[in-house]
Amino acid sequence: MEKNKNIIFAIVIIILIIAVVIVMSLSGTNKSVIQSPNSEEISEIIQDKSVIIIDVRTAEEYKTGHVEGAINIPFDEVENEVNYDKDQALAVYCRTGVRSSEAAKTLEKMGYMKIYDLGGIEDFNVELTTD
C-alpha cells in the first residue's frame, strides 16, 4: 500500500514538473510587440515612410516643434483616434517618454502588432519642424 502511494506521489511530481516546463516555454514565446529602439534605430524608424509616427503630446506642445511627418494624437485621445490596420507599424513619442510608454501599451491592448516606443524627444537628436 505504501509503495502505491509513493508511485502516485512520484507521478504527480513528474506531471507538475512537466506543467511548469510547458508554462515557462510558452511564456518565452509571448514576446512584447512594443520595441524601444536605440538612438540610431530611432533615426531609421523616423525616415521609414512605412511607419506612422504619432506625437502623443498636447496640440500646444506639437506646435512648438515635432518630428517631420508626425501626426498629433494627444495621449488621452489615442484609444479613440488611432484606427489603422493592426499590422501597420506605429511609432509613438512624447516629450519625456512617460506618455509614449503608456500610449504604446494602449496600442498593444488595442491589438496593434508592431509598435515602436521612441520615448521622449528630449532624449533623441532629431531635427524638429513647426510646419
* CATH number for region 34-129: 3.40.250.10
pLDDT, residue 68, reads 94
Which pLDDT value is given to residue 7?
A: 84
Q: Of 29, 28, 56, which Cα lies nearest the Cα of 115? A: 56
Active site residue 130: no
Phi and psi dihedrals of 48, rounded to 5? -75, 110
Residue ranges of the domains in the chain?
A: 1-31, 34-129
Is this model's pTM higher than 0.85 or not?
A: no
pLDDT at 32: 77
Q: Tell me, what's the pLDDT at 108?
A: 97
Residue of 94, 116, 113, 128 lying closest to 42 (CA atoms): 116
Residue 21: what pLDDT?
A: 78
Please report the pLDDT score of residue 12 as a whole number.
Answer: 84
Distance from C-alpha of 42 to C-alpha of 91, rounded to nearest angstrom: 9
Rounded CA separation 123/51 (Å): 20
Cα gap 68→80, rounded to integer Å:
23
- DSSP H/E element including 53: strand 52-55
The pLDDT tens digits for 90-119 are: 999 999 999 999 999 999 999 999 999 999
Neighbours of 15 (CB within 10 A): 10
* Parts of the chain with a pLDDT under 50: none
From 94, 103, 107, 121, active-site residue: 94
